[in-house]
């Protein structure tokens, strides 16, 4: 399936044009095949990640975009909220982030990137985890930064 106008592959250091969109993510054919076949080669990193981050005891999460996720998680851990943990990472950039912000605007805390954890957001996170079971590897996030739900 050849598509035009979907830009570059979402995989870091990949300079190929995307040829298709899988679960909302633009990928080149080679990387789509690698991901589809369960990462027989070492994992590559997503170029940019839309992150879903929460904090201990919080009933809300932050949805943002980063191309340097560990420094971002450290920064998000440096407030009174405590240590940040990532619920899932979605390959994509600011356009994906804006789309999610629109989808979940009913749960949004005005003027922030914080969203109340709603059934819709929880379902969305579950869908992402199913679509990208290796999201943590692809985002470059070790177990110490991952949160359950």
Comparing CA positions, the residue from 8, 75, 91, 97 lying closest to residue 43 is: 91
Does 9 sit near Zn ion (CB under 5 A)?
yes
Query: If binding is defined by CB under 5 A, does position 33 make contact with Zn ion?
Result: no
Task: Take residue 76 and report the two structure tokens written for it.
Answer: 């998000």
Print the binding letters for residues 72-111 with Zn ion: x by CB under 5 A, - otherwise: ----------------------------------------
- The answer to whether residue 63 forms part of the interface with Zn ion (CB under 5 A) is no
Can you tell me whether residue 72 is helix, strand or coil?
A: helix
Under the criterion CB under 5 A, does residue 31 sit at the interface with Zn ion?
yes
* CA distance to 44, 55, 86, 145, per residue, from 148 (Å): 23, 11, 9, 10
Q: Dihedral, CA atoms, 102, 124, 57, 89, nearest 10 degrees?
A: -90
Is residue 14 at the binding interface for Zn ion, with CB under 5 A as the rule? Answer: yes
The window from 25-33, 81-89, 96-104, 114-122 that contacts Zn ion (CB under 5 A) reads 25-33
Binding site for Zn ion (CB under 5 A): 9, 11, 14, 16, 28, 31
């Amino acid at each position: 399936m050849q598509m035009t106008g979907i830009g570059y592959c979402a995989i870091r250091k990949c300079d190929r044009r995307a040829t298709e969109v899988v679960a909302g993510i633009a990928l080149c054919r080679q990387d789509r095949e690698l991901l589809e076949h369960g990462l027989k080669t070492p994992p590559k990193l997503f170029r940019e990640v839309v992150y879903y981050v929460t904090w201990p005891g919080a009933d809300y999460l932050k949805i943002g975009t980063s191309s340097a996720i560990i420094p971002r998680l450290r920064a998000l851990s440096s407030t009174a909220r405590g240590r940040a943990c990532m619920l899932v990472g979605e390959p994509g950039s600011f356009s994906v982030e804006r789309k999610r912000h629109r989808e979940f605007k009913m749960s949004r805390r005005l003027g922030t990137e914080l969203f109340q954890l709603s059934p819709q957001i929880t379902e969305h996170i579950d869908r992402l985890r199913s679509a990208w079971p290796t999201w943590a590897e692809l985002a470059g996030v070790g177990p110490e930064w991952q949160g359950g739900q």
